[in-house]
Amino acid sequence: MHPYQNKVVVITGGSGGIGQELCKQLIGQGAQVACLDLTTDNALQHENALNIAVDITDYSQLENAIEQIIERFQRIDVLINNAGITHMSRFTDSSKELADKIMAVNYTAAVDITRLCLEQLITNKGQIIAMSSVAGFAPLYGRSLYAGSKHAMEGFFYSLGSELKDKGVSVSVICPSFVRSRPELKAQVNAGVSSPGALKKNTNGEQISPQVAASRILAAGHNGKRTLYLGKVANVARWLFALVPATYLKIMTKGAKDEFNSYPK
């Protein structure tokens, strides 16, 4: 029997990249999947998939989506907070509107949908999986707004995990480095936001395939692993920043500045 067989799983940002691969693997394990995304054009079409177009920053739309999921599947066992946006611009070059948008998608929406699913998750002793980033635990030059949203997300889910442990709900935070999930997209530098998985010009280190990433994420969730540092870069950054932060900052900042200087302003 597969770990997620007969489980009802809600995935935000499920139409592309890692989200789409998570849907494929879950359905392959016999799960029923609700995919929430701004558009469902690229969502997986399957009899065990419910695809809902929703703006996750709109609470009323989220409420309606959760009602549809429970009406269709009668329960929710797992919530995967996968939706997110990234950016590459220095804080001095960033607007208030950009800051608000990044926080709304990466943090507030995750808190909101968790609130809406929580009663079901507690009743069914379920799982919450939250997709963070290297930026959630270490500084990244030119990613101050993104890092702020991911630090907030990690703080919320780690604290929530401590509250839910006695209720039988596990919370796993995933910190990936480079996942080649959207090779057709290029990261936007000094030009707003990008979808996760959009590649930079120079991506140093291991690039994980969506298939491997999704498999490791689901295994971490099933095993109730508190944190998964996904990829060699994430693991190196973790220890380097913890043990020799000045060295980490020097290496990271030089690479990031070179990257920024390669793009027109």
Residues 6+ apart with CB under 8 A from 56: 12, 36, 62, 83, 105, 109, 112, 113
Q: pLDDT grade, residue 198 (50/70/90)? A: very low
Question: Which candidate, 95, 116, 148, places its Cα nearest to that of 10?
Answer: 116
Residues 6+ apart with CB under 8 A from 244: none
pLDDT tens digits along 37-88? 999 988 999 999 999 999 999 999 999 999 999 999 999 999 999 999 988 8
CB count within 10 Å of CB 210 equals 22
**Domains identified in the chain and CATH numbers:** 8-261 (3.40.50.720)
User: At residue 127, does pLDDT exceed 50?
Assistant: yes
pLDDT at position 207 is 78
pLDDT at position 78 is 98
What crossing angle do the helices spanning 59-73 and 109-123 adopt, rounded to 10°?
Answer: 30
Mean pLDDT taken over the chain: 90
> Which of the residue ranges 45-54, 177-186, 225-234, 239-248 would you say has the lowest mean pLDDT?
177-186
User: At residue 184, does pLDDT exceed 50?
Assistant: no
What percentage of the chain exceeds 90 in pLDDT?
A: 78
CB contact at 8 A, 66 and 117:
yes
CB contact at 8 A, 31 and 5:
yes
Residues 6+ apart with CB under 8 A from 170: 126, 127, 128, 161, 164, 221, 224
pLDDT tens digits along 151-176? 999 999 999 999 999 999 999 999 99
The C-alpha angle 48, 49, 54, rounded to 5 degrees, equals: 160
User: At residue 182, does pLDDT exceed 60?
Assistant: no
Complete DSSP assignment for 200-241:
PS---S-EE-HHHHHHHHHHHHHTT-SEEEESHHHHHHHHHH
pLDDT at position 16 is 83
Residues 6+ apart with CB under 8 A from 74: 8
CB count within 10 Å of CB 6 equals 12
Average pLDDT over residues 206-233: 93
User: At residue 202, does pLDDT exceed 60?
Assistant: no
pLDDT at position 214 is 96
